[in-house]
Amino acid sequence: MKRSALISLIPAFLATASPVPQASKIAGLCGAAEVDELVGYGAKSTGGSGDTVTVTSCSELTSALSNGGVIHIDGQLTGCDIMNVKSDTTILGVGSSSGLTDSGFRIKKADNVIIRNLAMKNPPKEMDLIDIETSTNIWIDHNEFSAEGITGDKDFYDGLLDAKRGSDFLTFSWNKFSDHWKASLIGHSDSNGDQDTGKLHVTYHHNYWSNVNSRAPSIRFGTAHIYSSCYEDLPISGVNSRMSAQVLVESTAFVNVKRPIVTNLDSKEDGFAIEKDNLFENSEAQITQEKGFVPPYDYATDSADCICDYLKEKAGTGVIN
């Protein structure tokens, strides 16, 4: 087990060293960060308002989504297909097992959406569990996303949580991602730079990733801050920075992860990455170029030494009220 940076500079003459930014943060052992607090690039998200509508069927959910506001899902709903989410909407699961199976959400040309405490499994064929397109101020928190594992056709399902086409100001926090080929894609194409450059700002914090093949996340063009997360058993890649994307990864544990942080995989142009205060166990980063940035918000990190056990308890459903 190592806490130092295990970095392969490939090749060394391509690397451009930059000082690690000193972000405005509070560091501590596990428990420093508030479990029920919105921070990060998506911090302006407020979601829906007004009376709460509780739904127990796909038809009720589809109807409620057409009006926005505050929606509670009570129970596990199956076969709802892909449902559109409009601006100013909050979706919350009741208890620890409410959510969707063989269904998904599309957030397209929307602003101010919150989705929390849902157990979501198996999107419709070739679709995502949550697809965010050309949308802003989104908070995805304390959910559990999964599929059937990393066997069979890797393209039968698409992503668990994807964002693309100039989406911006996103926070994905305290979620569990497991048993899937392609977990989370930020920026869908190498040729979409005109729309994506200068956007796709996303914070991933306190997420638990297990038995995911790749894309944890994979990011093109954008800016990702990833901290206090745990990665276990990823056979292809973890954080994949591509097409001049910038990522800062800190206070995160990688256990049995091939290419836990990589900048020269899958695209015609490398990305950038800075890593600090991470733990690598049977995992070696592959960073070809570095460029730092300072996240424009205050945040608290939990230590990589204890983060995996902590997130197994505190991430996912059934934690928040």
Q: Are 272 and 244 in contact, with CB atoms under 8 Å apart?
A: yes
Using CA atoms, how far apart are residues 190 and 29, in angstroms rounded to an integer? Answer: 39
Peptide bond into 11 cis (omega under 30): yes
Q: Has 215 been annotated as catalytic?
A: yes
Q: How many CA atoms lie within 13 A of 252 on its CB side?
A: 29
Q: Which amino acid appears at position 133 of this protein?
A: E
Distance between first and last Cα of the chain: 36
Quote the CA–CA distance of 175 and 143 in Å, as a whole number: 5
Of 165, 215, 242, 259, catalytic? 215
Q: Identify whether the C-beta of residue 87 lies closer than 8 Å to the C-beta of residue 107.
A: no
For residue 2, give the nearest of 258, 316, 254, 295 by alpha carbon. 254
The tokens describing 113, both together, are: 């959406």
3-state secondary structure (DSSP) of residue 25: strand
Rg of the chain in Å (alpha carbons): 18
Q: How far apart are CA 62 and CA 67, in angstroms?
A: 9
> Tokens at residue 272, please?
């950038």
The catalytic residues are 215
